[in-house]
Every structure is written in structure tokens, then in C-alpha cells.
């Protein structure tokens, strides 16, 4: 069902908690990996065997994005794009500093916009292009102290829907995944100790998401069978946001 053989998957934030799980799942489905992160991903790519590559890119530098995406497209093609890189900072809404606000928006929202735009010619050439944007439950509901993060992830859902509308004619689907807390370093940052225990109890399924569960959803959305799913926001939240 999810055979991605012969397709190149570009994954941003590949060195992070969800990124590594994405790389493992896409490699297992047969995709060729183009792993992108501000950290060096060459060793990670090599772990999956020949044909996979790592690229170092700081997504906060807008001028650096298009040249790197064009290089990757020329070297490997781009059929599947997973905009996964992101960062989260928690502050009361009235205390967010301007540079933290800008950094959050630049990496969580501006970068996916620029990466997707630069990748579009390659996705069009693919004939079955796919984009999956890593949003969050924070883009759908209010989470205490998540003003900048929630705004960036809600913005990413808005971007997803407009890209889906405009790029359907090119055979490109664009969807968002919105998990609750995922067991990664980022998840632990805001949700450890008693706060984390309470958050787990408040999720009907009683636990946080495991990174491979996010990766499996992304693989499905990139599969041939998901060709009619576009503009969707897939919640992976154990039922938290239905309450
Ligand atoms: N962990 C969670 O609880 C959770 C929940 C919902 C959504 N998400 C989203 O999932 C995505 C991945 O999260 P994660 O938990 O794996 O985070 P993580 O912090 O483990 O990994 C993020 C990766 O992005 C990379 N990155 C950050 N800034 C970058 C930049 N300027 N240029 C290039 N790469 C950069 C980091 O180097 C890191 O490898 C993020 O978009 C996040 O917002 C995470």
C-alpha cells in the first residue's frame, strides 16, 4: 500500500526526534532520502545505505533556502516533501520577545512556505508530488503559553489549505499533521514532570504520541492511495482535541 520505491523524500528537521523516525519510515517504504537539517545529517543518511544524502541548511536564512532546494532537486529530484523542522518556546502571551516571535515564525511558517515554493517545480515534474506539513494541536486549539508557537502552527494550516487548493492542478497534494505532545526532546521541553503527567491523563488514550506513529501517518499521506486526500489536517492526538 505504501510503496514509495523510486521516489525521493526531502525531510527537513531530519536530525530531530520526529525527523529520525520519518527517515526510518520513508526508507523502509523504499524512498530515497534527502535529509535536511541545520545539524549535519550525512552520517544519518549513510546509515540507510547508498543513494541517501544529507544536506546542511539553516532554514532561518531565507536567502539560503531556494539555492539548496534547487541543488537537491537537481541531484535527487523531489517527489515528497516533509516540512518537519520546527521549534517551540513557551512564554505568557504578553511576555513573548520580538526576536523569539520572529524566530518561531521564520522556522515554523516562513521556511515551509519558501521550501515548498522552491520545491514546486520538482513536485510538478514528479507527477505525484506530495507535501506534508508538521503542524500541531497548538495550531487548532489554545494551549497555555503557546502564543507564538500556536500562531505559527495555525498559520501553517492556513498555508497548507491554500497550497492544496492552488497546486491540486499540478497533481500535488498538501496536508498537515497535527499531533499532541510527541515523545521527543521538544516534547520533553514543555511537558515534563507533573505538567506532563497531567497532560497524559487529559488525553483520552492516556499517553503521548510515539515518533513512529507520526512517521506512519506521513508515509500514508505520501502513498498512491492517499491521492484524493488534500488540504486535510490529520489530528494524531489520542482524542485530546475532540473533547
Ligand atoms: N515534539 C512534540 O511534542 C511535537 C508536537 C507537535 C508537533 N511537533 C512538530 O514536529 C516537528 C518536529 O519536532 P521534534 O519534536 O522532532 O523536534 P526536535 O527539536 O527534536 O527536532 C527539530 C529539528 O529541526 C531542526 N531545526 C530547528 N531549527 C532549524 C533551522 N533553523 N534550520 C534547519 N533545521 C532546524 C533541529 O536541528 C532538529 O533536528 C516540529 O515542527 C514540531 O513543531 C512536535
Ligand 1 nearest atom to the CA of residue 179, by list position: 6
Best CA proximity match to 148, nearest among 196, 110, 201: 110
In the chain, where do the E strands start and end?
8-12, 32-37, 53-56, 80-83, 130-134, 173-179, 233-236
Domain interval for residue 47: 8-242
Best CA proximity match to 26, nearest among 80, 77, 83: 80
Q: DSSP states of 185-218 as a string?
A: HHHHHHS-HHHHHHHHHHSTTSSPBPHHHHHHHH
54 is a domain residue: yes
Task: Please indicate whether residue 55 is annotated as part of the active site.
Answer: no
**pLDDT tens-digit series, residues 5-27:** 999 999 999 999 999 999 999 99
Q: Are strands 130-134 and 173-179 parallel, antiparallel or unpaired?
A: parallel
Residues in the chain: 243
pTM score, whole prediction: 0.98
Give me the pLDDT at residue 71, please: 98
Greatest distance between any 2 Cα atoms in the chain: 50
Instruction: Count how many domains the chain has.
Output: 1
Ligand 1 nearest atom to the CA of residue 185, by list position: 20
41 is a domain residue: yes
From first CA to last CA, the distance across the chain in angstroms is 32
Give me the pLDDT at residue 189, please: 82
1 is a domain residue: no
210 is a domain residue: yes
Give me the pLDDT at residue 2, please: 85
Whose grid coordinates read 501517518?
217
Give the burial class of 77: count Cβ atoms within 10 A of its Cβ; 0-12 exposed, 13-18 middle, 19 or more buried. Answer: middle
Q: Best mutation site among 11, 72, 85 for ligand 1, i.e. most ligand atoms within 8 A of its Cβ?
A: 85
179 is a domain residue: yes
Which residue's CA is minimally distant from atom 40 of ligand 1? 86
Ligand 1 nearest atom to the CA of residue 86, by list position: 41
Which residue's CA is minimally distant from atom 7 of ligand 1? 136
Give me the pLDDT at residue 1, please: 64
Ligand 1 centre and the CA of 169: distance in Å? 30
Torsion angle, alpha carbons of 229, 232, 237, 241, to 10: -140
d(CA 93, CA 90): 9
178 is a domain residue: yes
3 is a domain residue: no
Give me the pLDDT at residue 190, please: 84
Cβ of 37 less than 6 Å from ligand 1: yes
Spot the catalytic one: 48, 55, 122, 149. Answer: 149
Domain of 226, CATH number, reads: 3.40.50.720
Per-residue pLDDT of the chain (243 residues; tens, 9 = 90+): 689 999 999 999 999 999 999 999 999 999 999 999 999 999 999 999 999 999 999 999 999 999 999 999 999 999 999 999 999 999 999 999 999 999 999 999 999 999 999 999 999 999 999 999 999 999 999 999 999 999 999 999 999 999 999 999 999 999 999 999 999 988 888 898 999 999 999 999 999 999 999 999 999 999 999 999 999 999 999 999 999
Q: What 8-state DSSP symbol labels residue 94?
A: G
Give me the pLDDT at residue 106, please: 98
Amino acid at each position: 500500500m505504501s510503496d514509495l520505491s523510486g521516489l525521493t523524500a526531502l525531510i527537513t528537521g531530519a536530525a530531530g526526534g520526529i525527523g529520525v523516525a520519518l527517515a526510518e519510515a520513508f526508507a523502509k517504504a523504499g524512498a530515497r532520502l534527502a535529509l535536511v537539517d541545520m545539524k549535519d545529517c550525512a552520517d544519518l543518511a549513510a546509515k540507510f545505505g547508498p543513494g541517501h544524502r544529507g544536506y546542511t541548511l539553516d532554514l532561518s536564512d531565507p536567502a539560503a533556502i531556494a539555492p539548496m532546494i534547487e541543488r537537491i532537486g537537481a541531484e535527487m529530484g523531489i517527489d515528497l516533501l516533509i516540512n518537519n523542522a520546527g521549534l517551540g518556546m513557551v512564554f505568557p502571551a504578553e511576555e513573548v520577545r520580538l526576536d523569539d516571535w520572529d524566530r518561531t515564525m521564520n522556522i515554523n511558517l516562513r521556511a515551509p512556505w519558501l521550501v515548498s515554493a522552491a520545491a514546486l517545480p520538482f513536485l510538478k515534474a514528479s507527477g505525484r508530488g506530495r507535501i506534508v506539513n508538521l503542524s500541531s494541536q497548538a495550531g487548532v486549539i489554545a494551549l497555555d503559553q503557546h502564543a507564538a508557537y500556536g500562531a505559527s502552527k495555525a498559520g501553517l494550516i492556513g498555508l497548507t489549505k491554500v497550497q492544496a487548493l492552488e497546486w491540486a492542478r499540478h497533481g500535488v497534494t498538501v496536508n498537515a499533521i497535527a499531533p499532541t505532545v510527541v515523545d521527543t526532546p521538544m516534547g520533553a521541553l514543555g511537558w515534563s514532570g507533573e505538567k506532563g503527567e497531567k497532560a497524559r491523563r487529559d488525553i483520552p488514550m492516556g499517553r503521548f504520541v510515539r515518533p513512529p506513529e507520526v512517521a506512519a501517518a506521513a508515509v500514508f499521506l505520501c502513498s498512491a492511495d492517499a491521492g484524493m486526500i488534500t488540504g486535510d489536517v490529520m489530528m494524531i492526538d489520542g482524542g485530546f482535541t475532540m473533547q
